Amino acid sequence: MTNIILNKLVIIGVGLIGGSFALAVRKAGLVKHIIGLGRSKENLQRAIKLGILDEFTTDYSLALKNADLILLAVPVGQIEKIFSQIAPYLESKTIITDAGSTKQDVIASARVFLPNHFKNFVPAHPIAGAEQSGSNAANTDLFQDKALILTPLDETNTDALECVKNIWQGCGARVSQINAYRHDEILSAVSHLPHLLAATLMNHIVSTSTADSLDDLLHFAGSGFRDFTRIAGSSPEMWRDICLANRELLLKQIDTYQEELARIRRIIENHDEAALVKAFSDARAIRKKWLTNKS
Amino acid sequence: MTNIILNKLVIIGVGLIGGSFALAVRKAGLVKHIIGLGRSKENLQRAIKLGILDEFTTDYSLALKNADLILLAVPVGQIEKIFSQIAPYLESKTIITDAGSTKQDVIASARVFLPNHFKNFVPAHPIAGAEQSGSNAANTDLFQDKALILTPLDETNTDALECVKNIWQGCGARVSQINAYRHDEILSAVSHLPHLLAATLMNHIVSTSTADSLDDLLHFAGSGFRDFTRIAGSSPEMWRDICLANRELLLKQIDTYQEELARIRRIIENHDEAALVKAFSDARAIRKKWLTNKS
């Protein structure tokens, strides 16, 4: 299985993730033909010009005929609908994978809507992204040295799992396997909560300002503010889907974060210099440790 | 006043800000001699090697003799002590300015500890920074096209104000004048609160993890997390001072932020798709507008 070549790869949703996956698989020499499907014909036409796709279609029966691998790279809110649309055309050899930011809900949908192909479904999540979206944001090296999480189940076919794993490794990703609950828990802490906090800061600033005073605020906001709020620049629909798909764990994260924020608020209110330095030192130390381990 | 040349510039605190100021003023040809003071002899020696200082001393009487301009570039918690140390040696022509992150408290200290020179004190704050500190982090272009806020008072001598303004413009900064309360209010929203939120996220992640699960979390944290928490990497002592100096306004910011976070929490809990998309779209739109105006 290590030198697997895909005769036909189907990308559903040719945006930043789907497009970058196509480019990376092609660069690695792991595919012969790539066909794309998506909502915007303009975007698909551009994907052909950019060398991402060999062809595109709106016809699932044509697209899925003889497919080796299908990647669903759409916001998690659309996955259910697409599962139900592709189900009638799936062949027994076809492997299905996704790039959804949450995994428990995607797996639950696959159980319902891909009953006959559930064992061929390999749930996956590449930890890579950017502010941009659409096929023109696609980039061959997006997944290079980035984490790719697989959350297979007991039922998952071993060959299907190996195939998806090898393809992602071929794209340069560092592949890990964890269970879906733990995936969603981890991502709620290090991705979903920070996104919510950044968006909330922007809205907080607006809600506490008049139009004039808002201009002042933004005029004096510096590079710290820019970096802190960068993630608030990404797709609202994608983030709506993620927050709702991972609702229970995210609500828990918000609650414990609010407690931690209330704790530091009390420290400031009590003018507790030592506790304040400790809080900032702890935060810096853990971040430094993280950056050291990353590099 | 527009072609003012400083015969003698005194930098108290030769770190990122003080060192970069010295380099920029020198590059602009606006100074003949720069003398530095600070807590670490090693840091001051390095500053001479790096061409930041012409000399350094620990003797205030020597340092301040014939000084045209003194810049205090130390954490705001140390400014009061330094005002009281320099007060006996100030000459009538000497202008004093600072680079403190808060302005009301620094002005209040100057009133008490520089009673005879208060009119020659020009409160200032450059909106520039970096994760690094110390003279080896100094950089000639740190203030290029960055905002510099002056918060003069009715008593402030017009010539002193013009001098500080011209020197900062010579360093490439875009100089604005606002009142000290408004400065502290703006910075509490766009700088102090985000810093607190980023540090709180790091501490939240630690407090909700075991050692093993923390390693997992950090392993899967991506570039969004990295940028969001960048400001949590800066000096704990500096941030302790800022939070305490701007305590009242910061507590207000935390309270209204908590309300905004509770609002988005309710939206998620109620599964309100439309309100959630609106919240994320609003956040993205205001950020986009900000980036457009910045460039």
Coil, helix or strand at residue B59: coil
User: In sequence order, which residues have a C-beta less than 8 Å from that of residue A13 and are 6 or more positions away?
Assistant: A37, A38, A72, A73, A74, A78
Query: Are A280 and B199 a contacting pair at CB < 8 A?
Result: yes
Question: How far is residue B233's CA from residue B132's CA, in Å, rounded to a whole number?
Answer: 9
Does position B19 have pLDDT exceeding 70, yes or no?
A: yes
Indicate whether A295 pLDDT > 70.
no
Q: Which chain A residue is nearest to residue B293, measuring alpha carbons?
A: A219
Res. A1: pLDDT tops 60: no
- Domain made up of B6-178: CATH architecture: 3-Layer(aba) Sandwich (3.40)
Please, which pLDDT band fits residue B130 given cuts at 50, 70 and 90?
A: low
Ranking A72-86, A230-244, A255-269 by mean pLDDT, the lowest is: A230-244
Query: Would you say residue B148 has pLDDT above 90?
Result: yes
pLDDT of residue B212: 81
Check CB contact under 8 Å for B189 and A271.
Answer: no
pLDDT at B279: 96
The mean of the pLDDT values for chain B is 94
Instruction: Provide the pLDDT confidence category of residue B292 given band limits of 50, 70 and 90.
Output: confident
User: Domain B182-294 is of which CATH architecture?
Assistant: Orthogonal Bundle (1.10)
More confident residue, A155 or B133: A155
List pLDDT tens digits, range B169-182.
999 999 999 999 99
Sign of the CA dihedral running A95, A101, A104, A109: negative
Shortest distance between the Cα of A92 and any Cα of chain B, in A, equals 33
ipTM, 2 dp: 0.89
Neighbours of B134 (CB within 10 A): 16
Tokens, residue B256: 């209204």
What is residue B283's three-state secondary structure?
Answer: helix
Chain A hits for B237, Cβ within 8 Å: 277
Per domain, the residue ranges of chain A are 6-178, 182-294
**Whole-number pLDDT of residue A291:** 86
Instruction: Reply yes or no on whether the pLDDT at A153 is more than 50.
Output: yes
pLDDT, tens digit (0-9, with 9 covering 90-100), for B204-226: 999 988 888 888 888 889 888 98
Vertex A126, ends B218 and A183: CA angle to 5°? Answer: 55
Q: In terms of CA atoms, which chain A residue is nearest residue B229?
A: A228
Is the pLDDT assigned to residue A2 strictly greater than 70? no
The residue of chain B with its CA nearest to that of A216 is B186
**pLDDT value of residue A222:** 85
Question: How would residue B1 be classed by pLDDT, with cut points 50, 70 and 90?
Answer: very low
Nearest by CB to A237, which of B254, B265, B277? B277
pLDDT at B278: 97
pTM greater than the 0.95 cutoff: no
Q: Is the CB of A257 less than 8 angstroms away from the CB of B204? A: yes
Give the DSSP H/E element, type plus range, for residue B51: none
Q: Answer yes or no: is pLDDT of B42 > 80.
A: yes
Best interface-test mutation with A: which of B133, B190, B246, B295 has the largest number of A CBs within 10 A?
A: B190
pLDDT band at B3 (very low <50, low <70, confident <90, very high): low
Spatial distance between the Cα atoms of A90 and A72, rounded to a whole number of angstroms = 14
Q: Does position B96 have pLDDT exceeding 50, yes or no?
A: yes
- Both structure tokens of A257: 């974060």
